Structure 1
Amino acid sequence: MTFSPVPIGCTVEDATTSLLADGVGDGLPVVPPTVERWERMLDGVADPDAVLAVVPPLFGELTARTVAGCCVLAGCRPGVVPLVLAAARAACEPEFNLLGVQTTTGTAAVGMIVHGPVVSRLGLSSSTGMLGPGPHANGVLGRALALTLSAVGGVTAGVTSMATTAQPARYGFCLAESGGASAVTVLAIGGTAEVLPRDDLPAPDDVLDPLADALAAPGRAAGGLDRMAECEQTLVLPPEIAGRVRDTDDLLARAHARLGAPVGALRVVEAGGPGVKMLHLPGWMGGSRGVTRTLG
Structure 2
Amino acid sequence: MDNARHPEWQYLDLMRHIWAHGDERVDRTGVGTRSVFGTMLRFDLSDDRVPLLTTKRVFWKAAAKEMLWFLTGSTNIRPLLEQGVSIWSDWPLKKYRQASGADITQADFERRIVEDNAFAQRWGDLGPVYGKQWVDWPTYRYGPDGTYTRGPGINQVAQVVESLKANPGSRRHIIEGWNVAELDAMALPPCHKTYQFHVAGDRLNCLLYQRSCDVALGLPFNLFGAALLTRMMAAQTGLQAGELVWSGGDTHLYLNHGDLVEAQLGRQPAGQPRLVLNRVPDTIFDHDIADFAVTDYEPQGVLRAPVAV
Q: TM-score range by the shorter chain?
A: under 0.3
The TM-score, its normalising length taken from structure 1, stands at 0.27
Structure with higher strand content: 2
The answer to which structure, 1 or 2, has the higher relative contact order (CA under 8 A, 6+ apart) is 2
The TM-score, its normalising length taken from structure 2, stands at 0.26
